[in-house]
Structures are given as structure tokens and as C-alpha cells.
Amino acid sequence: QAAKPRLYILDYGAGNVRSLANSISQLGYEFEWIKDESDFDKADKLLFPGVGAFQQAAGMLTTSGMMEPLLKYVRSGKPYFGICIGMQVLFEGSSEAHGAKGLGVIPYPISKFNAADGGKKSVPHMGWNGAWRAHASASTDDSDELLLTGEDYYFVHSYAALLGHGTPEAEAVLKDFAYTVSRYGSERFVSSVRRGNIFGTQFHPEKSGPAGLDLLHRWLSAPVAALSAPPHPLMTRDDGAWVDEDPRAARAASSGLTSRIVACLDVRSNDNGDLVVTKGDQYDVREKAEGGNVRNLGKPVELSRRYYEAGADEICFLNITSFRSSALQDQPMLEVVRSSAETVFVPLTVGGGIKDTVDPDGTRRSALEVAGAYFRAGADKVSIGSEAVLNVEEMLAREARGEPALSGTTGIETIAAAYGAQAVVVSIDPKRVYYDTTQANWLDTVPAAHRATLVTGETSTTRTKPDEAGKAWWYQCTISGGRAVRDIDVVQLARGVERLGAGEILLNSVDRDGSGKGFDLDLIRQVRSAVSIPVVASSGAGCAADFEEVFEKTGCEAALAAGIFHRGEVGIDEVKADLEEHGLPVRRTAL
Ligand code: 1PR
């Protein structure tokens, strides 16, 4: 029996590579990390998972002296599989990278998505999208394919090999490498490349649920010879024309992305000191009776696995009491993330306590260090709450003094610079501030700064509108889990965090949390139209129809729920079936 091919992974130290390692182990394969140049010669197969920013990746490869040996490996004809930045690094360079060069194997530029595209698209391109064959392939034999079309895969990036962005000569070469194409809004891009020994996916198979694991398995189990140069016979192109459209008609009306469903787990210690998933009503997580206990809805790791298996497109953990103490040392949430990432192969977000902290022994930890620990444990994104509000307030104050708005030192800025904007979520906890519009001169009592964002009972678009007659309100930001209010409104905050470099907004509502009254559509629309980064609608889901309503009426990219899933009132499959029935694309896990 031939020796097993030796698989190596190249890690340049940014982002979550743990999930890829976990998925490979789950599939029953062993691997080693590339430690130095000589390991490239020992490798029979090489996987390069890139996460985050191209510049960072190219910079680290250059300074660590890995760029040259990597190029040598790719040219050697041995199997190479690049993921996300690991695929982009094959290209000549990225407009993201201000001069940083890639390997130049594919002489085509990587460019940024156009967020203005029809006004409906947010950037980063974050979520589940399809991929179709770039060319009408001569092959009818699926067994030799590495990637199944008709499945959805998880993408998270702002830059891509966009069709029509290179010279005709460069595009001809790109066509030669292109394996699949995907669409985001009106822009088409190469979502995977395959030529000879080279394979690369713009999406993350290790985060793409069963479809992604299947793809990894196909590449890992394929004999080295079948994945090596010269170009594989099945790669024969037809006349070279791009195949234009995703054959699935249901996709035509959407941006390309599916409606993303997020299961949220609010985690804290209960009175016995056990870490439990809890759930509040308007952020109050104790049972209603006098001296009530913290509600216990299950164990975090177990529940996350259950939601993954039930088809959740993303899992979000929020450490809801981290404002009290959030030391990094012995942080139990790290273990929760680590264990969860062993069985959950969709994106994991973790929030609570992502800020500069001090450990009990006096060691100071920057927000960047804290975030890094979570990424290494297997988180894909970190979510910043209270700290983001304070950071935006400081930014606005600096600006008012005529100083530069950005300090470069906030958690949002430092984490986004190191790991990419897509890894930084800001969680907002707004609360309505009401006015009685039947009173004379009520408008005079509204602070001038917030008048532009006022909603009235008459202009409201939510189903609870009849209850709001005679009222007007704006959305005030809170910190420390809704315990303290700040002057800043939700639109100021959302715009502010986008300027600081956040890549996504998780939009809660203290008023709707746990109420089952449906999402606060007014709130979500306000924020959605104020920013061009993705918005996750949260708080208030009471039935499957609430999801359809929030996607249709606000244009949000994702919708999150907690209570109805924990209590088993509505299943994730039920939500997706309802969305599909209403013509909204969803990820189905057929494999
Ligand atoms: O401020 O950076 O340490 O982050 C703390 C994080 O913890 C923030 O993201 C904040 O939203 C969250 N948090 C703090 N206190 C609570 C609480 O409930 N007492 N949870 C809390 C926020 C809102 C959602 C909830 C949705 C959906 N809970 O997480 O899952 O409202 O619920 P539903 O579907 O049942 O309506 P920092």
C-alpha cells in the first residue's frame, strides 16, 4: 500500500485557521503545519487558508520568507488548494493592498466590489452564495469534480477577481483558470479556480457546512496524481465563453446571497457558577418571581451543535455579563468557542468583552489580543458592543474639535486592520425614547441632534403600529447590556462604526428582545439605509413569518433569533421553508 500523501497547511498567523484544521480532522485526515521552508519539499499536498486582508497576508508571507518557497511549490506541479486569500494570493495583486504583490500565477487584478451597485448591495460580500461552472464543461462525470454546483457556499470578502476588470488578454488567462463563477448584485466574479495542480476557492469550505466538507473530502481523498500538473483532461474548455447565469431561476431576483438565518446564544454564569445559555425579556434574564434564578436554556456547546445540524447559517455567542469582568486569562468563553468549532462548520461569531482589559495578575490585554485569542480558538468574527459606543462618541468629539476623526487605536480599527473588516461586527443595543405627540410643543423637547431620525406612530411600518398612536420616538444607544443609556442615536452609531472599519452590524432592540412581537422594522430600515455594510436584524422574532417580513421590508442581510429556537417553538427548517415559499433564496443542506 502506498504511503499516505503528506498534507501540510500554511498558516500566516491571521484569522481562524482552527476551523479548517478541525474540519480536516473531522474528515479523518492528518496534517502538519508548515514551519519552515524545508517543509514545502516534504509536502505532497498543500492547503493555504487565507483569512482577512490581502495586504496583511502578502506582507507576512514576504517578511517570513515564505513567498518564494510558496511560489516554488505552486510551480512544482504538486497539489495546491488556496482558500479565500489563499486563492487571491495566486493573482498578481489586489487593489486592497497598496502595492503588495501576489504570486502572479494568474496575471489578473483583484478588485473591490462596488457597494453602490443598484443601492441594494452591502460590502463585504458576506454569506451564502451559489457557484456555477465558468464554462460549459466537456465533462459529464461528476465524480471527478471537486465542487458541486447547486450548493451554497460561505463567502466573506470585499475583493474578488471581478469579470471585466482586466485587459482582454488578462481575462483570457483568467478564463483558463476559472472553475466556477458567482454573482453578487450585478457583478460576476471567479469564485473558484482549477488548472493543473492549482485549486482555489474564494469561499470557505470549512465554513460551508456539509457542502464544504464534501468539497474538502473530494480534494483530500483524490490521488496526488489526479490533482497534479499538467492540466487535467477534464479541464478542457469549450469555446472559452463565460457561462452567464446561475441556472437556478429563484436566484435571479436576489443579490445572489441567500437569506441568512443566525441562531444566537446569550451565555452567562448562572447562580451555581455554570456557564449556561440564557434568554431575557427586554434583557432581563431572571425568572419573573421575586429573587428569580437566571433562566437556563441549555449548554452552549451542545446547543450550537444542534443548531448547526438544524441548518443555522451562522452561530452567535454573546457573553452577556462580560462588562462586569472580562479577563482573558482563564476566560471560559474561549473553551466554549474551541469546543463548538470542533463540530460546527458554519461561521461563529463571539461577542462580549472584546476590549482592552486587565487580567487578574495585572497583565494588560489589548482588544486586538483578546480578539486574536477568540480567532485562534475558532471564531470567525468578534462582536463589539459597549466599547463601540464609547469609541464613536470619542470620534465625534475629536471631529468637533477639528482633530482627525480616526485615532487608529480603537478595537474596531486595530482588529479590522489585522484581520479584515469582515471579522469585526458591532452589536448595537438601542432603546426607544418616546414622546407624547398629543402634547403641544412636544417636538421642542426632542434633542435637535435626533430629530432627523424620529419615527411616529403614523409613519411606523411595524405591525404594532396601532399601539403607537400618539407617540414618536428615536433610538437611543445603550451600553452594559442595556443598563446605561448614552446620548448618541442608532444612526450616528451605525455610521460611526462603519467609518471606524466595522464589517457588519448586529442590530438588537431592547424593546423587542424576547417579546415575540416581530422585528422592529422601523429601526432596522433606519440602520440599513444609513450604512453599506451588512446588517443582521435581531430581537423580537415570534414566528416564521416574522423572518420573511424583515427580509422583504428592510433589505437586511441576515436575521437572528434566540428565544423561539431555544424553546423549540419554531424550527430553523420551518423558517427556511416559509422564506422559500415566499420566493426568498435560502441555503438548503441537501448533502
Ligand atoms: O458590551 O461588548 O461586552 O458586549 C455584550 C454583548 O452582550 C452585546 O452584544 C449585548 O447585545 C449582549 N447583551 C448584554 N446583556 C444582554 C442581556 O440580554 N441581558 N444580550 C445581552 C443581548 C440580545 C440578543 C438576543 C436577541 C434575540 N441579547 O442577543 O439574542 O434579542 O432574542 P429573541 O429572538 O428571543 O427576541 P460588550
Whether 264 is in the pocket of ligand 1, judged by its Cβ within 6 Å, is: yes
Query: In 10 A of CB 589, how many CB atoms?
Result: 18
Atom of ligand 1 nearest to the CA of 326: 3
- Name the nearest CA neighbour of 310 among 561, 563, 588: 588
Catalytic residue among 39, 152, 206, 513: 206
What average pLDDT score do residues 320-325 get?
Answer: 79
Atom of ligand 1 nearest to the CA of 265: 30
What average pLDDT score do residues 265-271 get?
Answer: 91
Whether 478 is in the pocket of ligand 1, judged by its Cβ within 6 Å, is: no
What average pLDDT score do residues 533-539 get?
Answer: 98
Whether 385 is in the pocket of ligand 1, judged by its Cβ within 6 Å, is: yes
- Lowest mean pLDDT, pick from 90-94, 128-132, 211-215, 448-452: 90-94
ipTM above 0.90, yes or no: yes
Going from the C-alpha of 568 to that of each of 294, 561, 565, the distances in angstroms are 19, 12, 5
The whole-number pLDDT of residue 250 equals 59
Beta-bridge partner residues of 350: 317, 382
Whether 386 is in the pocket of ligand 1, judged by its Cβ within 6 Å, is: yes
* Residue range(s) of every CATH 3.40.50.880 domain in the chain: 7-251
- Which residue's CA is the nearest one to ligand 1's atom 15? 481
Amino acid at 116: A
CA of 309 to the centre of ligand 1 (A): 23
Could you tell me whether strands 471-479 and 430-436 are parallel, antiparallel, or unpaired per DSSP bridges?
antiparallel
Amino acid at 73: Y
Is it the case that residue 252 has pLDDT exceeding 90? no
Question: Is position 403 annotated as part of the catalytic site?
Answer: no
The mean pLDDT value of the chain amounts to 91
- Name the nearest CA neighbour of 153 among 190, 205, 197: 205
- What does the pLDDT look like over 102-131, one tens digit per residue? 899 999 999 999 988 876 789 999 999 999
- Cis peptide upstream of residue 124 (ω within 30 degrees of 0): yes
Is it the case that residue 373 has pLDDT exceeding 90? yes
- Name the nearest CA neighbour of 561 among 530, 581, 540: 540
232 close to 196: Cβ distance less than 8 angstroms: yes
Catalytic residue among 125, 157, 165, 204: 204
Whether 344 is in the pocket of ligand 1, judged by its Cβ within 6 Å, is: no
User: How does DSSP classify residue 134?
Assistant: S
Alpha carbons 161 and 178: distance in angstroms, whole number: 10
Alpha carbons 180 and 44: distance in angstroms, whole number: 25
CA of 541 to the centre of ligand 1 (A): 14
Provide the b/e sequence for 452-464 (b: ≥16 CB within 10 Å). Answer: ebbbbbeebebeb
Q: How confident is the model at residue 320 (pLDDT cuts 50, 70, 90)?
A: very high
* Residue range(s) of every CATH 3.20.20.70 domain in the chain: 260-429+476-581
Q: How confident is the model at residue 138 (pLDDT cuts 50, 70, 90)?
A: very low
Q: Which residue has the higher pLDDT, 439 or 98?
A: 439
CA of 283 to the centre of ligand 1 (A): 7
CA of 260 to the centre of ligand 1 (A): 19
- Name the nearest CA neighbour of 355 among 335, 337, 376, 373: 373
Q: How confident is the model at residue 143 (pLDDT cuts 50, 70, 90)?
A: low
Whether 279 is in the pocket of ligand 1, judged by its Cβ within 6 Å, is: yes
Whether 320 is in the pocket of ligand 1, judged by its Cβ within 6 Å, is: yes
CATH topology of domain 7-251: Rossmann fold (3.40.50)
Q: How confident is the model at residue 356 (pLDDT cuts 50, 70, 90)?
A: very high
Alpha carbons 277 and 528: distance in angstroms, whole number: 29
Atom of ligand 1 nearest to the CA of 323: 3
Q: How confident is the model at residue 147 (pLDDT cuts 50, 70, 90)?
A: confident
Question: Is position 152 annotated as part of the catalytic site?
Answer: no
- What does the pLDDT look like over 33-56, one tens digit per residue? 999 999 999 999 999 998 777 877
The string of DSSP codes covering 155-166 is EEESEE-BTTSS
Question: Is position 37 annotated as part of the catalytic site?
Answer: no
What average pLDDT score do residues 243-257 get?
Answer: 72
Question: Is position 206 annotated as part of the catalytic site?
Answer: yes
Provide the b/e sequence for 348-384 (b: ≥16 CB within 10 Å). Answer: bbbbbbbbbbeeeeeeebbbbebbbbbbbbbbbbbbb
Atom of ligand 1 nearest to the CA of 540: 36
CA of 409 to the centre of ligand 1 (A): 25
* Strands laid side by side in the 7-9 sheet: 32-33, 7-9, 45-50, 80-84, 198-201, 187-195, 178-184, 132-133
The string of DSSP codes covering 384-433 is E-HHHHHHHHHHHHHHHTTS-S--S-SHHHHHHHHH-GGGEEEEE-EEEE
Whether 380 is in the pocket of ligand 1, judged by its Cβ within 6 Å, is: no
- Lowest mean pLDDT, pick from 129-133, 231-235, 436-440: 231-235
Could you tell me whether strands 32-33 and 80-84 are parallel, antiparallel, or unpaired per DSSP bridges?
unpaired
Q: How confident is the model at residue 150 (pLDDT cuts 50, 70, 90)?
A: confident
Question: Is position 450 annotated as part of the catalytic site?
Answer: no
Out of 317, 318, 321, mutate this one to test ligand 1's pocket (max ligand atoms within 8 Å of CB): namely: 318
- What does the pLDDT look like over 374-424, one tens digit per residue? 999 999 999 999 999 999 999 999 999 999 999 999 999 999 988 889 999
Domain 260-429+476-581 superfamily per CATH = Aldolase class I (3.20.20.70)
1 close to 405: Cβ distance less than 8 angstroms: no
Catalytic residue among 11, 96, 246, 266: 266
CA of 266 to the centre of ligand 1 (A): 6
CA of 481 to the centre of ligand 1 (A): 6
What average pLDDT score do residues 349-363 get?
Answer: 93
Alpha carbons 504 and 354: distance in angstroms, whole number: 15
Strand, coil or helix: 179: strand
CA of 562 to the centre of ligand 1 (A): 10
Catalytic residue among 11, 39, 84, 504: 84
Whether 185 is in the pocket of ligand 1, judged by its Cβ within 6 Å, is: no
- Name the nearest CA neighbour of 165 among 113, 96, 203, 125: 113
CA of 349 to the centre of ligand 1 (A): 13
Whether 539 is in the pocket of ligand 1, judged by its Cβ within 6 Å, is: yes
